[in-house]
A and B are shown apart, each in its own frame.
Chain A
Amino acid sequence: MKPTRRQLLLGGSVIGGGLLLGYATSGPTRPERAQGLAAKEGEHFVTTWLTIHPDNRVTVYVPHAEMGQGVHTSLPMMAAEEMEADWGLVDMVQAPADPIWANGPLGRGYLAGETPIPSALTGIVDASFFKIAEVMNLQITGGSTSVRFTGQWGMRMAGAAAKEMLIRAAADTWGVPEAELVARLSHVHHEASGRSASFGELAVKAAEYDPPNSPVLKSRENFTIIGTSKPRYDIPAKVDGSATYGVDVQMPGLKVAAIRQAPVFGGSVKSFDGTRALQSRGVSHVISTGDGVAVVADNYWRASQALELVDIEFDDGGNGSVSTQSMFAKFHNDIETGATEDDVIVGSTDNAFAESGHHLEARYEVPFLAHTCMEPMNCTVEIRDGKANVWVGVQDALGSKAKVAEIAGLSLDEVTLTPLMLGGGFGRRGPNSANFVEQATRIAMQVDAPVKLVWSREEDVQHDYYRPAVAAHLSASFDEKGNPTAWRNTYTRKDEPVEASNIPYKVANQAIRYVESPVHVPYGAWRSVAHTQHTFFNESFVDEMAHAAGKDPYAFRRDLLEDGSRHKAILDRAAKEAGWGTPLPAGRARGIAFQESFQTIVAQVVEVSLDEAGNPKVHRVVCAVDCGTVINPDGARAQIESGVIYGLTAALFGEITIEDGAVVQGNFTDYDAVRLAQSPKIEVHFIESDAPLGGMGEPGTPCIAPAVANALFTLTGTRVRTLPLMNHDFKAGPQLASAAD
């Protein structure tokens, strides 16, 4: 039986224990365990995610990694709002990697059926009732989930429960009804008698009560913290060099390892000779991890230099003849001849195509993409005396901890993981992507010292878990007036989120199908996951349909959206703010794209020109965004800006190619990124509502590639059907830059 949301919110110890209900299946309650683990003398946990100190300061424990998305600030804002805390008295601490701070609300969000499980969690979460306990052991940052689940169902609930307990404590102390008390700015007031007490004064008594089962949340119009821009906690340490990332770990006796991995995915070390490397200054070990060879030395440079001296023979796992070309040939062949699975079937596209005299079809492709986090992959592990210590910045601290335990043959209790700042995540440091953690563990098992494994940028580019390369064959039919009557899409690789391939438009007959077309290149979650490829396919092809029908691309989309819908409002807002239809300077054109992802609706209008060399130049990006309620407006704007630029890098330059089974590119020199000079002016406009909270870390990314490609069509007449844009010659005159037949 699928549990209802109500059952989950009011559920028993295992289900309800995720945030504040006590979690008393056996042994101490969650707050008591937290008290033992993290509270200092004189501090009291009211719930597992809040501490109230005697001096009236509040610490909020955030069970997510900070990787620049601002979650270390937005989540405390949500707790403080409900608690009626004085924001100036609120501090933030990243929760230790312990299951008591695990993301119960994250699991609950999926289990309640409010959203599909994002790819970041694929393979870990099974959306069945019996997996709840397992889900509770997540401590994952990904899938734009932090605010939506931990914030909404964790932080706000915890804050509201704390407030009710504090009010009860004041009522009992003063002998007055709770109804006469009000919490405001970290104090409880009894207006009738003029008495007041600080949260800090009431905390000891409040901690005696069981947290309420269903605390009452504030309504949006009463918010005083949510919806106001708050400076991020993590920023001051990021302007003076003091922020500590995984790669910055230092300790006495620390050794540093550099690694060379089998160039072909699926390959392994056949043999190696480390004799010459071991003669180098500072080098202590040359170790095979199975998938690579590592040199351990007293500093990174010495390890990486000595690595050059190791003779290694790799096998290719039987994948040594695969190329980008052979993979795309396979994709197109599988689409045409393989066994397809139905994704979305509405009406009959066969009938619609048969009845229509006007058809359009196109083939699209997107390449593999690496994440290139600025901080290269790294992990520090010390294994001694039957215990492991791990220092790492990852998006799933508990998953990494479990991986170390598994490889080292230890129990979870014997592994301590200290989460550190991430120098970029974007999905690369998420679940099922931890090859660097596995390698660091294997190396540390053979060294009687803490070892920090640091990848070179080349290893990072060549051993990622990539945004998959995907192909799609799209077609549409129209009636005599140019209105679409059918939409068909058959694509390779079904990925998360499951709805990414859907179209938001009213087309009466739809047949969206996919074919699995497996390749040997590892894939993973890349910012916004399957939305990147599908939004490029769908929003480019919709644009083709508009032009084929002789209609304006904005008006064509608009006519296919429900009147009065949030979707239509967002499309209209972007067009209005961008001045759609108004004249532009010569040599410039606009393009538009639209997509809902992670429950956030986004429309983008771009202005594009060609520079003297014929390269696309994006001048302006206007974004309209509906994520329900905006928590930290400046932080939310920053996330959209970030998503746009991340997507623009991929649109302009992003392409990982495969030759002889291995990645061709190796560094920023051949896998470039947008820099200041290519960075457009970005404007972000929010439409707020009481709709369920949408994600913010990813929804800025999907629209930019099709919006730019659509603008380039208007500007040059060249229709882009493959990325990146740098592969196309826009000065050569109108052409169909089509996927290969």
Chain B
Amino acid sequence: MTISITVNGKRRELDVEPDMPLLWVLRDELGLTGTKFGCGVAACGACTVHVNGEAMRTCTLPVDAVAGKEITTIEALNGGGPTLTSLQQAWIDHQVPQCGYCQSGMLMAVSSLLASNANPSDDEIDAAITNICRCGTYPRIRAAIRSLATV
């Protein structure tokens, strides 16, 4: 049985087990390694992508649950073009990443937050962004988000 999903605008027909988590479909079947494996239990957020525009953790998300849906990964956060999004540019301007491993998931989570709330308060940021960064880039993440505030 094939499962059909749309990843970064491209329709993909997959011959995989329906319960294979989307994370491993992306990484091992489609070669999109920007989405990271961190915990396998949806506790750290390293595997966050957008499913129909909503941030979702993919390490426990069966691929058949997203059949027919639009998936966007870090590789296409900027639409796949040559220009970074203002969010990605803010990450560079604030020198946010250290080891960088969690940052794909961070950026996907933050872009989803900003899409629904362009000017989140500190409390709203705290509540929405629960991804783990072991390098402790949080002060810079907060500063980068605040720099994008529209007010």
Residues of A within 8 A of B (CB): 67-70, 231-232, 234-245, 247-248, 250, 256, 281, 298-302, 372-376, 421-426, 454, 456-458, 634-635, 638, 641-646, 648-649, 667-669, 673-677, 679, 681-682
Contact B37 A673 (CB under 8 A): no
CB proximity to A under 8 Å, residues B10-58: 17, 20-21, 24, 27-29, 31-41, 43-44, 46
Evaluate whether A426 and B84 lie within 8 angstroms (CB atoms) in the complex, with A374-B36, A421-B100 already known: no
Nearest B-chain residue to A378, judged by Cβ = B37
Contact A231 B95 (CB under 8 A): yes
- Tell me the bound Cα distance from A290 to B119 in angstroms: 55
- Tell me the bound Cα distance from A239 to B137 in angstroms: 13
Contact A668 B100 (CB under 8 A): no
Sample of 6 A–B contacts (CB below 8 Å): A240-B74, A243-B100, A301-B24, A373-B101, A635-B95, A677-B126
Which residue of the partner chain, among A232, A299, A457, A668, contacts B24 with CB atoms under 8 Å? A299
Is B127 an interface position by the 8 A CB rule? Answer: yes
Chain A residues in 8 Å Cβ range of B96: 235, 239
Nearest B-chain residue to A673, judged by Cβ = B132
Contact B101 A375 (CB under 8 A): yes
Contact A668 B43 (CB under 8 A): yes
Chain A residues in 8 Å Cβ range of B129: 675-676
Residues of B within 8 A of A (CB): 17, 20-21, 24, 27-29, 31-41, 43-44, 46, 73-75, 77-78, 84, 88, 91-92, 95-104, 107, 125-127, 129-142
Contact B102 A241 (CB under 8 A): no
Nearest B-chain residue to A70, judged by Cβ = B98
Evaluate whether A240 and B77 lie within 8 angstroms (CB atoms) in the complex, with A635-B95, A667-B43 already known: yes
Contact A426 B134 (CB under 8 A): yes
Chain B residues in 8 Å Cβ range of A458: 40
Nearest A-chain residue to B32, judged by Cβ = A241
Chain A residues in 8 Å Cβ range of B95: 231-232, 235, 634-635, 638
Nearest B-chain residue to A634, judged by Cβ = B95
Quote the shortest CB–CB distance from A686 to chain B (angstroms).
17
Q: Shortest 8 CB-CB distances between A and B: which pairs? A: A241-B34, A645-B136, A68-B98, A423-B101, A238-B100, A68-B99, A679-B138, A241-B74
Quote the shortest CB–CB distance from B114 to chain A (angstroms).
14
Nearest B-chain residue to A422, judged by Cβ = B99
Chain A residues in 8 Å Cβ range of B134: 372-374, 424, 426, 646, 649, 673
- Tell me the bound Cα distance from A458 to B43 in angstroms: 12
Evaluate whether A682 and B139 lie within 8 angstroms (CB atoms) in the complex, with A68-B97, A244-B33 already known: yes
Most B CB atoms within 10 A — which of A256, A374, A634? A374
Contact B46 A239 (CB under 8 A): no
Nearest B-chain residue to A301, judged by Cβ = B24
Contact B97 A374 (CB under 8 A): no
Chain A residues in 8 Å Cβ range of B38: 374-376, 457
- Tell me the bound Cα distance from A374 to B31 in angstroms: 20
- Tell me the bound Cα distance from A638 to B99 in angstroms: 12
Evaluate whether A300 and B28 lie within 8 angstroms (CB atoms) in the complex, with A242-B34, A374-B38 already known: yes
- Tell me the bound Cα distance from A422 to B134 in angstroms: 12
Which residue of the partner chain, among B17, B36, B137, B138, contacts A281 with CB atoms under 8 Å? B17
- Tell me the bound Cα distance from A326 to B88 in angstroms: 50
Nearest A-chain residue to B141, judged by Cβ = A676
Contact B24 A374 (CB under 8 A): no
Quote the shortest CB–CB distance from A299 to chain B (angstroms).
4
- Tell me the bound Cα distance from A281 to B135 in angstroms: 37
Evaluate whether A675 and B132 lie within 8 angstroms (CB atoms) in the complex, with A68-B98, A244-B33, A423-B99 already known: yes
Chain A residues in 8 Å Cβ range of B20: 301-302
Chain B residues in 8 Å Cβ range of A638: 95, 98, 137, 140
Chain B residues in 8 Å Cβ range of A421: 99-100
Evaluate whether A68 and B100 lie within 8 angstroms (CB atoms) in the complex, with A239-B107, A240-B75, A241-B35 already known: yes
Quote the shortest CB–CB distance from B45 to chain A (angstroms).
9
Chain A residues in 8 Å Cβ range of B36: 245, 247, 374-375, 423
Quote the shortest CB–CB distance from A287 to chain B (angstroms).
19
Chain B residues in 8 Å Cβ range of A250: 31, 33
Chain A residues in 8 Å Cβ range of B37: 247, 300, 376, 454
- Tell me the bound Cα distance from A72 to B139 in angstroms: 22
- Tell me the bound Cα distance from A655 to B41 in angstroms: 20
- Tell me the bound Cα distance from A679 to B127 in angstroms: 13
Chain A residues in 8 Å Cβ range of B100: 68, 234-235, 237-238, 243, 421, 423
Most B CB atoms within 10 A — which of A242, A256, A300, A642? A642
Contact A667 B136 (CB under 8 A): no
- Tell me the bound Cα distance from A232 to B20 in angstroms: 37
Nearest A-chain residue to B17, judged by Cβ = A281
Quote the shortest CB–CB distance from B64 to chain A (angstroms).
14
Chain B residues in 8 Å Cβ range of A281: 17
